[in-house]
Chain A
Amino acid sequence: MGSRVEILNDDGYRSDGRRQFELRDITMDLSPRGTADGSAMITHGLTQVMVSVFGPREAKMRAQTLHDRAVLNVEVNIAPFSTGERRKRNRGDKRILELAASIKSTFEPVVQTALYPRSQIDIYVHVLQQDGGLLQASINAATLALVGAGIPLLDLVCAVTGGVHSTSPMLDLTTLEENDIPHLTVAVMPKTGNVTLVTMETRLHVDRFGDIFKLTCDAAQVIHQEMKRAAYARTRRLVDAMDVDSKSILLTGDNVDKDTAMNELE
Chain B
Amino acid sequence: MPRPPSPSIPEREFLYASLKQSLRLDGRLPLEMREPTLTFGPDLGWVDCAMGRTRVLASVDGKMVKPTPERPLEGVITIHSEISPMASSDYETGRASDEEVVLTRMLDKVLRRSDTVDKESLCVQAGQRVWHLRLTIHCLADAGNLLDCACLAGIVALKHYRRPEVEVEGEDVTIHHPSERAPIPLAMHHTPYCFTFAYFPDTTTQAVLDPTSLEQRLSAGLLSIALNAQRELCVVQKAGGVPLAPDEVMRIINVAVGKAKELDRIVEKRLQEDWSTRNVEVR
Q: Which residues of A contact B (CB under 8 A)?
A: 63-64, 92, 94-95, 97-98, 101-102, 104-109, 184, 189, 192-207, 209-210, 213-214, 217
User: 19 interchain pairs (CB within 8 A)?
Assistant: A94-B101, A97-B101, A101-B101, A106-B240, A195-B238, A196-B243, A197-B239, A197-B240, A199-B237, A199-B238, A199-B239, A200-B233, A201-B109, A203-B233, A203-B234, A205-B231, A206-B227, A214-B246, A217-B246
With A98-B101, A109-B241, A201-B113: A206-B236 Cβ-Cβ less than 8 Å: no
Shortest Cβ distance from residue B272 to the other chain A in the assembled complex, whole angstroms:
26
Chain B positions within 8 Å of A, measured between CB atoms, are 1, 3, 96, 98, 101-102, 104-105, 108-109, 113-115, 190, 220-221, 223, 227, 231-246, 249-250, 253-254, 257
> Contact between B245 and A108 (Cβ–Cβ < 8 Å)?
no
A residues less than 8 Å from B253 (CB atoms): 206, 209
Pick the contact of B240 from A108, A192, A201, A217 — CB < 8 Å?
Answer: A108
| Most chain A CB within a 10 A radius of its CB, from B221, B232, B240, B257 | B240
Tell me, in angstroms, the Cα distance from A97 to B102 when the chains sit together: 9
Using A200-B235, A201-B109 as known contacts, say yes or no to A206 and B257 having CB atoms under 8 A apart. Answer: yes
Q: Taking CB as reference atom, which chain B residue is nearest A157?
A: B243
Closest-CB distance, B188 to chain A (whole angstroms): 13
Q: A94-B101, A201-B113 are in contact. Are A206 and B233 (CB under 8 A)?
A: yes
Residue numbers in A under 8 Å from B96 (CB-CB):
92, 94, 97
- Contact for B233 among A106, A197, A204, CB less than 8 A: A204
Check B249 against A203 for contact (C-beta < 8 Å).
no
CA distance A199 to B108 in the complex (A): 14
Closest chain-B Cβ to A229's Cβ sits at a distance in Å of: 23
| Known contacts A94-B101, A94-B105, A206-B233; A102 and B240 CB within 8 A of each other | yes
B233 to A209, Cβ gap below 8 A?
yes
Cβ–Cβ contact A109 & B239, under 8 A: no
A102 partner residues in chain B, CB cutoff 8 A: 239-240
Contact residue among B104, B108, B238 (Cβ-Cβ distance under 8 Å from A198): B238
A-B pairs, top 3 by smallest CB distance, nearest first, are A105-B240, A194-B243, A200-B236
A8 to B228 Cα, complex, angstroms: 28
Name the B residues within 8 Å of A189 (CB-CB): 243
Q: Give Cα distance in the complex from A97 to B105, angstroms.
A: 10
Question: Which among A107, A203, A213, A217 has the greatest number of chain B C-beta atoms within 10 A?
Answer: A203
- Once the chains bind, are A101 and B244 in contact (CB under 8 Å)? no
A194: contacting residue among B113, B245, B257, CB under 8 A: B245
Least CB distance, A20 to chain B, in whole angstroms: 20
Chain A residue numbers with a CB within 8 Å of B232 are 203-206
Q: Which residues of B contact A97 (CB under 8 A)?
A: 96, 101
Least CB distance, B24 to chain A, in whole angstroms = 24
Q: How far is the CB of B193 from chain A (nearest CB, A)?
A: 13
Kindly list chain B residues whose C-beta atoms are within 8 Å of the C-beta of A184.
236
Name the B residues within 8 Å of A105 (CB-CB): 239-241
Residues of A within 8 A of B227 (CB): 206
Residue from the list B3, B242, B246 in contact with A193, Cβ < 8 A? B246
Residue of A nearest to B223 (CB): A198
Kindly name the residue among B115, B236, B243 whose own CB sees the greatest number of chain A CB atoms within 10 A.
B243
Q: A204 CA to B226 CA in the complex, in Å?
A: 11
Bound-state CA distance A92–B246 (Å) is 33
Determine if B244 and A199 form an interchain contact, defined as CB atoms under 8 angstroms apart. no
Chain A residues in 8 Å Cβ range of B221: 109
Q: Across the interface, which residues of A come within 8 angstroms of B98, CB to CB?
A: 101
Chain A residue numbers with a CB within 8 Å of B114 are: 201-203
CA distance A214 to B245 in the complex (A): 11
A193-B246, A204-B232, A209-B253 in contact; A106/B101 too (CB < 8 A)?
no
Set of chain B residues within 8 Å of A195, measured between Cβ atoms: 238, 243-246, 249
Determine if B239 and A106 form an interchain contact, defined as CB atoms under 8 angstroms apart.
Answer: yes
In the bound complex, how far is the Cα of B233 from the Cα of A101, in angstroms?
22
Given A194-B243, A195-B246, 15 additional A-B pairs, CB 8 A: A64-B1, A64-B3, A94-B108, A98-B102, A101-B98, A101-B101, A109-B240, A198-B249, A199-B239, A201-B109, A201-B235, A202-B113, A203-B114, A205-B232, A206-B227
Question: In the complex, what distance in Å separates the CA atom of A184 from the CA atom of B237?
Answer: 10
Question: A200 vs B237: C-alpha distance in the bound complex, in angstroms?
Answer: 6
A207 to B227, CA, bound (A): 13
Among A108, A192, A196, A210, which residue has its beta carbon within 8 angstroms of that of B250?
A210
Give CA–CA (A207, B236) in the complex, Å. 14
Q: How distant is the Cα of A214 from the Cα of B249 in the complex, in angstroms? A: 11
